[in-house]
Amino acid sequence: MLINVPETVVADALRGLAAAHPELTVDVENRVIVRRDAPVAGQVGLVSGGGSGHEPLHGGFVGPGMLSAACPGEVFTSPVPDQMLRAAAAVDSGAGVLFIVKNYTGDVLNFDMAAEMAEDEGIQVAKVLVNDDVAVTDSLYTAGRRGTGATLFVEKIAGAAAAEGMPLERVEAVARQVNENSRSFGIALSACSTPAKGSPTFDLPPGELELGIGIHGEPGRERRSMMTSGEIAEAAVEAVVEDLQPRNPVLVLVNGMGATPLLELYGFNAEVHRVLEQRGVPVARVLVGNYVTSLDMAGASLTLCQVDEELLRLYDAPVKTPGLRWGV
Amino acid sequence: MLINVPETVVADALRGLAAAHPELTVDVENRVIVRRDAPVAGQVGLVSGGGSGHEPLHGGFVGPGMLSAACPGEVFTSPVPDQMLRAAAAVDSGAGVLFIVKNYTGDVLNFDMAAEMAEDEGIQVAKVLVNDDVAVTDSLYTAGRRGTGATLFVEKIAGAAAAEGMPLERVEAVARQVNENSRSFGIALSACSTPAKGSPTFDLPPGELELGIGIHGEPGRERRSMMTSGEIAEAAVEAVVEDLQPRNPVLVLVNGMGATPLLELYGFNAEVHRVLEQRGVPVARVLVGNYVTSLDMAGASLTLCQVDEELLRLYDAPVKTPGLRWGV
Amino acid sequence: MLDADFFRRWMTATAASVDREAERLTALDSPIGDADHGSNLQRGFTAVAAALDKEAPGTPGGVLILAGRQLISTVGGASGPLYGTLLRRTGKALGDAGEVSAEQLAEALRAGVDAVMTLGGAAPGDATMIDALVPAVDALGDSFTAARTAAEEGAVATTPLQARKGRASYVGERSIGHQDPGATSAALLIAALAEAAGE
Amino acid sequence: MLDADFFRRWMTATAASVDREAERLTALDSPIGDADHGSNLQRGFTAVAAALDKEAPGTPGGVLILAGRQLISTVGGASGPLYGTLLRRTGKALGDAGEVSAEQLAEALRAGVDAVMTLGGAAPGDATMIDALVPAVDALGDSFTAARTAAEEGAVATTPLQARKGRASYVGERSIGHQDPGATSAALLIAALAEAAGE
Ligand SMILES: Nc1ncnc2c1ncn2[C@@H]1O[C@H](COP(=O)(O)OP(=O)(O)O)[C@@H](O)[C@H]1O
Ligand SMILES: Nc1ncnc2c1ncn2[C@@H]1O[C@H](COP(=O)(O)OP(=O)(O)O)[C@@H](O)[C@H]1O
Ligand SMILES: [Mg+2]
Ligand SMILES: [Mg+2]
Ligand SMILES: [Mg+2]
Ligand SMILES: [Mg+2]
C-alpha cells in the first residue's frame, strides 16, 4: 500500500486534501472538512461523514452546491460524535443543519449522539438516513438496508436545495425523497485490503464474484462463478428495478468500487443501458466513475434514482467540489 | 474482470461512453470520439489517442477547452492511422489540426502515417511529441523517453490555446513548451492485468514495488522492497526535480495508476508537498486523481509542469470534458 | 469492596488484553464485517488508559464514566457508542460511592447492558456483544470467575447463530459459523474484570 | 516460379501459425513489454486472410501490398506499421509481375527489411524483429529452409541482448535474458514462407 503506517492513513490523506484544495478548510487534528466560506448566511448546512475508504465520498463532495462539511472516520469506521458536533457548529448559519447518515449501526448511533449534543448547544438538527441497498432484503432481521451509492444523489440534490435557500424542513424533505426513490446493488470481483489488516478482508478466488456487496469490504449475499458484464448488468438492473418500480425517468450511477478500470466501467454502463432500454426505463442522466468506493475493491454498483422535474433541476444545478463539478 | 469478452472491451466501453455523454459523438465502429460541435470555426483541432486502458486519457478529455477528438486503440496498443485520419477530417475547420502523440514507437509510427495521409487530403497537420518520463534516462539507447502524465497538461493547455483561437503554430508551440517543462516519474505496487492476458503482466510479490514504471503494465527500471509513502515521494520528487530543475512555480499532478485508493493518493500528495516544500519548489496548482491510468495497476505517478503566466492562465481556462471539468 | 483503583485496574487490564487480541478481533470481523473491530477497541482503550492516567477519578463511577466518554469520543463505529454507553451507564448507576460491593457492580452492569440493548436494539441470540454480556451479568452474582466463563461461553455460542444486528447481519446466513467479534471482545472485558479481582 | 497463389499461401500459413502461437507471443511481450504482441498480430493476420479471400489479387506484389495495408489498418502498435511496411514495400518491389523467382523475392524482401530499418531506426543487435529478418534475407539465397533456420536462430539470439528499440528498451538491462517477441513472430513469418514453398 502507498501509505506510511496504518495509524496515520486518515490524517495523511487530510493533509494531502488540504494541500490540493485551498477552497476547503481541513482540520486535520479534529478530522473535519468544511467549505471555506461556511457558514453561508441563510443556507441550511449539510453535514455528512462516515468511515474513510470511500473517497471521494464524503470529503470530496464538500463545496458549493453539495456538502457544507464532512467528518471522516477511521477506515470503514464511522466517525465519532465530537466530529459531527464540530462540523455542525462550523456550518450552522442559524438556518439549521441536516445530517446525512448512511444506514449503518455505527453511523446511526454516532450521528444520533452528535445530534443530541448539537441540540444542547442550540443548533437545529434534522437527520436523513440513506438506505438504498436492495441486496439487504430482509431488513426486519438485519440492521436494515445499507446506505451506498444513493448517498451521492442525496448529497448532490439536497446540496442544491440548500444552495437555493430552502428551509431545513424542505431540504430534509428533498433529501428523504431522493433516498426513497433510490435503490442500489453492488457486485465485487475482488475483496479490498484495509491498511490495518493489510490483506484482503475476505477470500475471493479469481473466476468468482460476489453479488450484493456493500462498501465496507464485507462479502456479499451470494457467491457465483464469473459472469459476463452483460449478465451482471442484468442481475443488477433486475434487483434494482424490481424493488424501485420506477415510473419516472431515472438518474443512473454506474459506480466503480475502486480498482475497476474506467474502461470496464464504461463497458458495464453500456450493458446497463441495454437492459434498462429492454425494460423500458427512461434515463434522465448518467454518471460513470469511482464515486462511492471501497478502497481497492474491484467491482461496481448500480444506483437508480427516480426523479421528478424538481429533483432533476436540483441535480443539474451547479456544483463545485473536488469530486463532482459542473456548472461552475 | 467486468467484461464480456476481451475482443469487445474497447467497443463496449465506447458504447458506454456514448450512453453517458451525449455531448460527444462516438463512432464505435471506427473508434473515434469527437466533440459534438466539431469542427469549431476558426479553431485549431486537437487530436490525440493511444492504446486503451489509460482512461480517462484520452477519450475522457474530449470537449470544449481540451481535445477535439480522440482515437482509442486496443488495450495498450496504439490506434491505427485510419482512426487519426478520420478524426482529423472531423475536427479540421480549416485552421489545421495538432496531433498530440505520446512517445512510443507504435504511437509515433501510426500518427506519422496518419499525418501523411491527412496532408494528402489537404489537412494541415502539426505534431507534438510528449516525452516526460524521467525513468527512461538513457534515451540514446532506447526508444526515447516515454510520454506519461504530462499528456494531461499538454492536452489541457493546448486545448485552451486552441479555444482562444490561436493559430496552429502557436498552439503547437504552447504544447511543445508544456512538454519541455514537464517531467514525470511512476511507481507500481502491483502489475495490471490486460483483458487479453487475464493475469498480471509481470510478477510483483506483495512487499515489493517497482520504481520507474510506464503506463503499459511494463515493469519499471528497478525493484525495491516496500517503501513508505514518504520515501516514495522523496524518490519521485528527486527524480523529477533533478531533471526539470524548475525555477518557476509548477503544476503538480499526483496521478493514480488505477487501483490505488484516493485515500492513499491524497496521503501521497501530502508527502509530495512536504518534499517539494523542503526543496523550495513553489506550487501553483495541484491535481490529485486517476487521470492517466494503467488498468488496475496499483501505484502512482508524479508529474511536475513548470509554468509561466501564460501557461497558468491557459491551465486555469474553462474545460468541459468527462474527465476534467472546471469553469463551465 | 471495590474502589476506584480496582476499576482502573479493570480498564487497564482490558486495554492490555485488547492490545494482545487486536489482530484476532479484526480477523473475526473480516469474514462477516469490515475488519476493524480490533483496531477500533485498541484505539479506544489506549485512550481510556491514557485518560485514567491523567485524570485519575476518585470513584468507581467516575472511572467508568470517563472511560465510557473516551470510548465514545475515540472509537466510532458501532462498538464505540455501544461500549461507551455500557461503561457510562454502569458508571452512572454506581453513583458517587467511593467503594462499591460486587453485588452493586452486578446491578449497575445490568443497567449498563440494558442501556446497550435499548440503544442498539439487539436481543440475546442476535449474535452480538449482548450474547456475552447478558450471561456474564447473570453469573456475576456467583463470582467474577463464573462471569468470565459465562461470557466466554456466550461468545463461543454466537458461532452457530445468524447475526441479526450490526454489519454481520448483511451477509445473512453466511454469518452462521463465525464467532461474533463484539461478543469476543465483551468476553475479554469480563475476563479483565476477573483479572482485576485477582481471580 | 512463385505466383500469387504461393503468396496467398504464405499469408494464410502465417495467419494460422500466429493463431497457434498468439499466447506465446503475448507471454514473451509480458515481462519486457505490454503483453499484446500475440493479439496484435492475430488481429492483423486474421484481417489479412479475410481481405485476401475477398479481393484475391492476381499478382505476388498485389497480395503483399494488400496484406501490408491490412496490417497497417488493423494492428496498430509498433508491429502494425513495421510489418505493414515490410509487406507493402516487399510487394511494391515485386512490381506487377504475375510470377517471381525466389531470387526476386529475396531481393524484394531485402528492400522491405531496409524500409523497416529506416522507419523504425533499429539496427541488427537492437533485439527487434530485425534480428530475425536480416539473417533470413541473407540466407534466402540458399533456400527457404535455410532462411527459416536463420530467422529462428536470429530470434533466439536476441535473448542475451539488451533491447534498444521499442518498448522493451524501457526496462533497460532487465530486457537481457528475454527473447524478443517481434523477432519471434518474424521467425514465424519466415517459417510460413518455407511452409508455403512446401519445405
Ligand atoms: N445493534 C447492536 N447491538 C449490540 N451490539 C452490536 C450491534 N451492532 C453491532 N454490535 C456489535 O459490534 C461489533 C462490531 O463492532 P465494530 O467492528 O467495532 O463496529 P462496526 O460494525 O461499525 O465496524 C459486532 O461484532 C457486534 O458484537
Ligand atoms: N523501432 C523498431 N524497429 C524494429 N522493430 C521494432 C521496433 N520497435 C518495436 N519493434 C518490434 O515490435 C515488437 C513489439 O510489437 P508489439 O508488441 O505488437 O507492439 P508494441 O510494442 O507497440 O506493443 C518488438 O518485440 C520488436 O521486435
Ligand atoms: Mg467499522
Ligand atoms: Mg502495445
Ligand atoms: Mg467492524
Ligand atoms: Mg507489445
pLDDT digits (tens, 9 = 90+) for B43-76: 999 999 999 999 999 999 999 999 999 999 999 9
pLDDT in tens, C127-179: 999 999 999 999 999 999 999 999 999 999 999 999 988 888 888 888 899 99
* Mean pLDDT of the D67-90 span: 97
The alpha carbon of C33 and the centre of ligand 5 are apart by a number of angstroms equal to 5
Find the mean pLDDT for residues B245-273: 98
Whether D103 has a pLDDT exceeding 70, the answer reads yes
Under CATH, which number does the domain B11-181 receive? 3.40.50.10440
Question: Per-residue pLDDT for A197 more than 90?
Answer: no
Percent of chain D with pLDDT strictly greater than 70: 100
- pLDDT tens column, D104-129: 999 999 999 999 999 999 999 999 99
Q: What is the pLDDT of residue D147?
A: 98
Angle among Cα D118, D120, D124 to the nearest 5 degrees reads 80
Mean predicted confidence (pLDDT) in A224-236: 97
Give me the CATH code for the C2-196 domain, please.
1.25.40.340
Tens digits of per-residue pLDDT, C1-44?
999 999 999 999 999 999 999 999 999 999 888 899 999 999 99
- What pLDDT does residue C167 have? 85
Per-residue pLDDT band for C49 (boundaries 50, 70, 90) equals very high
Q: Grid coordinates in use for D83?
A: 510489418
Residue B71 · residue B107 · CB < 8 Å: no
The CA distances from residue B195 to A202, B9, B75, B291, D173, in Å, are: 24, 8, 8, 20, 28
**pLDDT at residue B127 greater than cutoff 70:** yes
For residue A206, name the pLDDT band (cuts at 50, 70, 90).
confident
pLDDT of B78 reads 96
Measure Cα distances from B230 to B236, B266, B278, C34, C79 in Å.
10, 12, 13, 27, 32
Identify the helix (H) or strand (E) that includes residue A242: helix A229-244
CA distances for B27 relative to B12, B33, B164, D77, angstroms: 12, 6, 27, 21
**In 3D, which of C34, C20, C14 has the Cα closest to residue C181?**
C34
Extract the runs of DSSP E, i.e. beta strands, from A40-147. 45-52, 69-75, 97-102, 125-130
- Is there a contact between A263 and B296 if contact means CB atoms under 8 Å apart? no
* A74–C76 C-beta distance less than 8 A: yes
Ligand 1 lined by A142 (C-beta under 6 Å): no
What are the pLDDT digits (tens) for C183-199?
999 999 999 999 999 98
Share of chain B above pLDDT 70, in %: 99
B300 inside 8 A of chain D by CB: no
pLDDT at position B165 is 98
- Quote the pLDDT of residue B143: 79
Secondary-structure percent of chain C, ordered helix, strand, coil, rounded to 5: 75, 0, 25
**DSSP string of C141-164?**
TT-HHHHHHHHHHHHHTTTTSPP-
- What's residue B201's pLDDT? 86
Residue with cell 456467583: C142
Least confident among A15-29, B163-177, B198-212: B198-212
The ligand 1 atom at the shortest distance from the C-alpha of residue A105 is 8
**Edge to edge, what strands does the sheet with B45-52 contain?**
B24-27, B32-35, B69-75, B45-52, B97-102, B125-130
Residue A50 in contact with residue A78, Cβ under 8 Å? Answer: yes
Exposed/middle/buried for residue C23 (C-beta within 10 Å: 0-12, 13-18, 19+): middle
Burial of residue A203, with CB atoms counted within 10 A of its CB: 0-12 exposed, 13-18 middle, 19 or more buried: exposed
**Residue carrying C-alpha cell 497537420:** B125
Hey, which residues does A30 pair with through a beta bridge? none
Q: Cα-atom radius of gyration of chain C, to the nearest Å?
A: 15
Which region among B137-151, B185-199, C70-84, D28-42 has the lowest average model confidence (pLDDT)? B137-151
Q: Are strands B299-306 and B250-256 parallel, antiparallel or unpaired?
A: antiparallel
| φ/ψ bin of B147: left (φ > 0), alpha (ψ from -120 to 50), beta (otherwise) | beta
Smallest Cβ–Cβ distance between B20 and the set A230, A271, A286 belongs to A286
Fold classification of B182-306 is Hypothetical Protein Tm841; Chain: A;domain 3 (3.30.1180)
Give the mean model confidence (pLDDT) for residues B128-138.
89
List, as own/partner pairs, every contact residues D143-146 make where C-beta atoms lie below 8 angstroms and the sequence separation is at least 24, other chains included.
D143/D199, D144/D102, D144/D193, D144/D194, D144/D197, D144/D199, D145/D194, D145/D199
Task: Please list the alpha-helical segments (H only) found in D33-161.
Answer: 37-55, 60-74, 79-94, 102-120, 130-139, 144-156
Q: Which residue has its alpha carbon closest to ligand 2 atom 23? A: D77
Residues of A in contact with C36 (CB under 8 A): 51, 74-77, 194, 196
Say what the pLDDT of residue B139 is: 59
Do residues A59 and A293 make contact, with C-beta atoms less than 8 angstroms apart?
Answer: no
Single-letter code of the amino acid located at C184: T
Q: Whose CA is nearest to atom 15 of ligand 1?
A: C79
Note whether D155 and D183 are within 8 A (CB).
yes
- Total Cβ atoms within 10 A of residue B29: 7
Q: A269 alpha carbon to ligand 3 midpoint, in Å? A: 30
pLDDT at C173: 86
What pLDDT does D83 receive? Answer: 98
For residues C115 and A138, what is the distance between their CA atoms, to the nearest angstrom?
26
**Band of residue C119 on the pLDDT scale cut at 50, 70, 90:** very high
| C-alpha torsion D164→D166→D169→D174, nearest 10 | -120
Peptide bond into A58 cis (omega under 30): yes
What pLDDT score was predicted for residue A221?
A: 84
Q: Which of D167, D175, D190 has most ligand 2 atoms within 8 Å of its beta carbon, as the pocket-test mutant?
A: D167
How many CA atoms does the CB half-sphere of D113 hold within 13 Å?
24
A261 and B298 in contact by Cβ < 8 A? no
Q: Which of B2, B189, B287 sits opposite A264 (nearest CB)?
A: B2
Confidence category of residue A140, pLDDT binned at 50, 70, 90: low
Q: Which residues pair with A50 in a beta bridge?
A: A72
C-beta of residue C151 within 8 angstroms of C-beta of residue C132: yes
* Largest separation between any pair of C-alpha atoms in chain A: 55
Neighbouring-strand partners of residue B257: none
DSSP secondary-structure letter at B199?
S
Instruction: From C129, C180, C184, give the residue whose CB has the most ligand 1 atoms within 8 Å, as the site to mutate.
Output: C129
Burial label for B193, CB within 10 Å (0-12, 13-18, 19+), is buried
C84-92 mean pLDDT: 98
Mean pLDDT of B32-43: 98
| Alpha-carbon dihedral sign for residues D186, D187, D188, D191 | positive
Q: In the predicted model, what is the mean pLDDT of residues A76-92?
A: 98
DSSP string over A257-324: -BSS-HHHHHHHHHHHHHHHHHTT--EEEEEEE--S--TTB-EEEEEEEE--HHHHHHHHS-EE-SS-
Q: How far apart are the first and last CA of chain A?
A: 35
The mean pLDDT of B115-124, rounded to a whole number, is 96
Q: Which one is predicted more confidently, B125 or A136? A: B125
Can you tell me the mean pLDDT for B170-190? 98
A141 vs C74, C120, C169: nearest CB: C169
Residue B130: all three cell numbers together: 510528449
Q: Determine how many CB atoms are found less than 10 A away from the CB of residue D177.
A: 12
Query: Predicted confidence band at A326 (pLDDT cuts at 50, 70, 90)?
Result: very high
Set of cell numbers at residue A221: 449475499
* Mutation for D interface: B9, B52, B105, B107, most D CBs within 10 A: B105
Confidence of residue D152 (pLDDT cuts 50, 70, 90): very high
pLDDT on residue B193: 94
pLDDT of residue B140: 64
Grid cell in block for residue A2: 502507498
Give the per-residue pLDDT at A139.
59
d(CA A97, CA C13): 41
Does residue C91 sit in helix, strand or coil?
helix
Partners of A197 on chain C (C-beta within 8 Å) are 26-27, 30, 35
Is B81 part of the contact surface with chain D (CB cutoff 8 Å)? yes
Residue A122 has pLDDT above 90, yes or no: yes
Which residues partner with A326 through β-bridges?
A319
Residue D158 has pLDDT above 80, yes or no: yes
Per-residue confidence (pLDDT) for residue A61, from 0 to 100: 98
Burial of B308 (0-12, 13-18, 19+ CB in 10 A): exposed
C182 closest CA partner among C68, C35, C29: C29
What are the extents of the domains in chain A? 11-181, 182-306
Residue B263 has φ and ψ, to the nearest 5°, of -55, -45
Q: Is the pLDDT of residue B138 over 70?
A: no
